[in-house]
Structure 1
Amino acid sequence: MSDEAHHSPGRRAVLISLLGAVASAACGGGGGNSPQPAPPTSAGTSDPPPAPVSRLALNGSSMLAPDGTPVILRGINEGTWGEMRSYDAATIAAQGGQVVRVLIRWWGLYGGTDVESRADPSPGHFKPDHLSRFLQEIQWCIDAGLWVIPVIDSNCGQNGLQDAAMAQYCDPSGTYPGGRNFWTDLAQRQLFKEAWVYLAGILKDYPKIAFYELLPEPLAGRDSSYGDDVSAFYQELMAAIEDQAGDKRTPILVGPRDAYNINLCDEAYIADPRWTNRVVYTGNLFIRTNQTQQQNIANLESRLGALVNMKTARNVPVFIQQFGVRSGDDPDQFYLDAGLSRLNAAGVGYTGWQWRQNTSSPSEYAVVIEDATTGADVVKTAVLAVYSKYWKA
């Protein structure tokens, strides 16, 4: 999702009583710093290198926890920049969630102020305070025992033609009529690759990193001639993460062109043996409610079926990185329940869209919204109850 907003500075959020009991369990986090090895035990000797941090292992269509047991990750997105609170991760874990998808925004027009994190002269081409915030959010999740999916999002890089304002922002000189993005401007592609190498160089020593999601929703509206271009882009970044950042263990999450069109998921398959048991495949699964209930459910099942069929036919792991339905379109949580029950039955993991959003509208996706007067947290308890039921199933 490309919608984005930034919270007002100084606003203090107070979680309602439903979550108060679990909020106290949250750990403050350590700013994302990984543990350091102990000093030498005696003169002239040093400890052996620290054990590798925990990672999922991929084996055919299965994901395995570090102890070798099969795992299906279910959780939610912290998708709105700057909105996550230190206690959110512990709350999500207490409700049964296992994974959180955390995004940083890089090169793009986003709503609100100070959302874009790109700063070319800075290390990794990130604004230092934004990178610190991103790593802090990741650490909060790790401290709560959750797996984390770090994502670098770029509205310009993925397409650059979402609307007239985006096109103007990404390409102010009008040099790229087909959109200024990572396929038409290779200089920007190089900077983005360097950003990923820098970030992976940090995160490779963090525990509980589930997957790196390299770039969400590439090339919306593009035809099948762009399928190979998307695959080549992902493989270029994957190779850089392995060869330059030295991370050969963290799985990579990729999806198809046309903005992660789940019906095209098989097109994203990477056949190169180098990437066997290294890649997880995804697609968006937002629920549509514009037809009859029967037709809407059939549409949901068809799109989920495309990903399940790929899992079986290709013997690869799959994951839904954005699942959801607007609360205004689902007042009794019928569709939310229907979607989550089908995901669980199919054995497909997911992160719901989304946990927190700085809006007072109850019609949006978020589980936690703002009180229109005070800015305090308002939790959609019925929505959370449905998520929690299936997270704990």
Structure 2
Amino acid sequence: MSGIGFWPANIALAIALEELDFTGARLFLERHSSTKWQPDMMLSGSDIQNHPSRDLVTPRNPRSRYTFTNFLFENDRLFEHLNLGLEFPLRSEFAEYVRWGVGFFARDVAYNQTVTTIQVDPVSNLYCVATQTGNEFFARSLVLAPGRTPVIPQAFSECASDQVFHLTQYLGRLAQLTQQRELKRIAMVGGSQSAIEIMLHLRHSYPQLEIINVQRGYGFRLKDTSQFSEHVYFPSFVDQYYNSSAEAKKNINRHLHYTNYSAADADVISELYVGMYEDKLQGKNRITIKNFSEIQHCTSTVQDYSLTVLDTQGQTAEQLPDLDAVVLATGFRNLETGTQDELFPTILRDLAESLDCDTQGVIRISRDYRVSATGLS
């Protein structure tokens, strides 16, 4: 068995294989030099927005030694952590927990292995995974955990990635820019939790910086954290969703969209609102929110970028010039047929003709997350 990517999904798999006494050969291929969970979003004070028991193992095996609680215990922080009174763990501590879990499986991971192609070897009928280093790995089965593909809207497709970048590159790109110049004006596109977290980070880190938020909605929406909505995490709900028709799934998606997307927790919304009010008391206008707005164009000048923003209410366009950077909190591609979706993860492109797909060409994923391929054993 070969795993592509060694992030939480495949780390959890590695733990399960050990605890279930799997005796077969396995190797996980990771393109980075080490496993770092969300390294470009390690913002001070940010949390994981999830109960700590939704960790790498607890829902499957609460008695495992790989739980977040045992991680705290083994690192002599259990009582201090409990004393914090936090609803959700800090993102930096959960990232440490992920690294701690990785440390037990060093023998099962090959780092610096960027997968370039996945094909079927006609002689052995095994999957052949080729990497950028020239290595080839053969496996009877593959487990793919490449992560979701960031959405880069068409208006930004031709922009230089050092100044216009997705939030998944935020801290690294920001560090590069601050070495080159003093940052004066940054645009933040999107209305999600991550968008607010980045705006708060910019506000605290760069006192003279002007921040302009552009979003389609009226304002930052409170995330749906009702106990009833949280049933989406129950296995019984996954069964219900999987067995629903395509139209029923669309209806579920519409109703549950704000449990995880285009919304934010109350604490960061309040912190941003209070911060903007505090700026107003001091006669400052550091943060501007352009609501009901869409980006029409992004144009480069000698050193900066300019956005053409459409007010969708009045149908009037406005220029936002002199931007040192544009940060895109624009989400990730879904497995659907929309203009910003994808039919299958790009890593499967060489197997596309063999994949079992629905009538619209989207790959079928079974209840056990298996992807079937015709003509392959």
TM-score range, shorter-chain basis?
under 0.3
TM-score by structure 1 length? Answer: 0.26
Larger radius of gyration: 2
TM-score by structure 2 length? Answer: 0.26
